[in-house]
Structures are given as C-alpha cells and as structure tokens.
Structure 1
C-alpha cells in the first residue's frame, strides 16, 4: 500500500486502481474529484484517453466490412490485457506510461 493519500481520502494506489477498474467512467470521476495527487490524476487521464480511444476504435471497426468482426475481437483482447496490466501497475504504485497515450496524459497533467 502507498503511504500517501489522495484528496479523496483513498490511498493513491487504490484511487489509481479505481481509475482503471471502472475504465472510462472511473477516470472521469477521479478527474472531477481529485484535487492534489498527480499520481491519481495521471492515471485518471490515461484511463480516459485509453478507453475513449478503444471505444472510438470499436465504433470505427464496426464499419469495416468482413474484417470488422476480427478487428473488434482484437481490440477487445487488447483492451482486456491493458485493463489488467494498468490496474495492477496502479495498485503497485507504478507510473506505467503507455506509448503515445501516457505522453498525452502527462502533457495534459502538466497543463493542470
């Protein structure tokens, strides 16, 4: 457990974990309520960007004839793997930065 608490009263690693557990919605909630912890805000931003991107990709793949189903299946597997990895990383207190998405989240965090 992280010895540091976020402004929500939760330990930072637990709050980061919840950002991913509830995917897009968890990230949005913590962006709205977190006031102090950069760790939680980073994971909230990364969760929102990751899962919003996956939702858009799923929607676009639905328009692909023939291979759309296969693309959606691959996106679902990718989403599941990333979901588990990111939950575990946040719970362990790690700042695991995904390529592109993590960079974007970090830039947004620096603007806040």
Structure 2
C-alpha cells in the first residue's frame, strides 16, 4: 500500500529496498509506471493551448480516482492489475 501512498517516489523506494515479496515488487513497478506516465501526461498537457487546462483537470481527477483504487486494492493484499500497465509490470517482474 505504501508504494501507492507516495505514488511515484514510493514505488521507486520499494523497488530499491524490497527483494523477496513478489506482490510488493509488482505493486511498486505498477506504481512507478502508472504515476510516472501520468506525470509525463500532465507536463505535456501544459504545452497544449486552449484545451490543455481542461485535459489536465480531467487527468487530475483520473489520477485521484486511480490512486484511491490502487491504495485500497493493495491494502487488501490483492494482485490488482491495471489493463496495460499491469501486464508490463508483470513481465518486468519476471525479469527481476
């Protein structure tokens, strides 16, 4: 749960310190990929004139909802996979 609680930074920290739990490593990878991608999307919307602020607002709401869902799922100990990012995180987990 802590990997998601501190979003991108929490994921990086748990990737660095956790070596045994596959569940924690999976959630850490998924957190880094999800919130890292959302941070990049937020930055890119800043360069879009007129509709950029609207898209940034929608991204903020999506980020908040996604953050709440991921924290709750991880706190319950579930292996909750997001559609594309979860598959990528699972493949990366096999390589660790």
Deviation at residue 26 of structure 1 after TM alignment: 0.4
Counterpart in the other structure of 2:46 = 62
| Structure 1 runs (4+) greater than 3 angstroms displaced | none
TM-score scaled by length of structure 2: 0.99
Give unmatched runs, 5+ long, in structure 1: 1-16
Q: 2:64 aligns with which of 80, 83, 91?
A: 80
Separation (CA, whole Å) in 2 of partners of 1:80 and 1:95: 20
Deviation track 1:53-78 (CA, whole Å, cap 9, x = no partner) reads: 00000011111100000000000000
Deviation at residue 22 of structure 1 after TM alignment: 0.3
Asked which structure has the greater CA Rg, the reply is 1
Query: Pairwise CA RMSD of aligned residues?
Result: 0.4
1:1-112 correspondence to structure 2 within 5 Å: 17-112=1-96
Separation (CA, whole Å) in 1 of partners of 2:19 and 2:93: 12
Deviation track 1:38-90 (CA, whole Å, cap 9, x = no partner) reads: 00000000000000000000011111100000000000000000000000000
Give unmatched runs, 5+ long, in structure 2: none
TM-score scaled by length of structure 1: 0.85
How many residues in Structure 1 have an aligned counterpart in Structure 2?
96
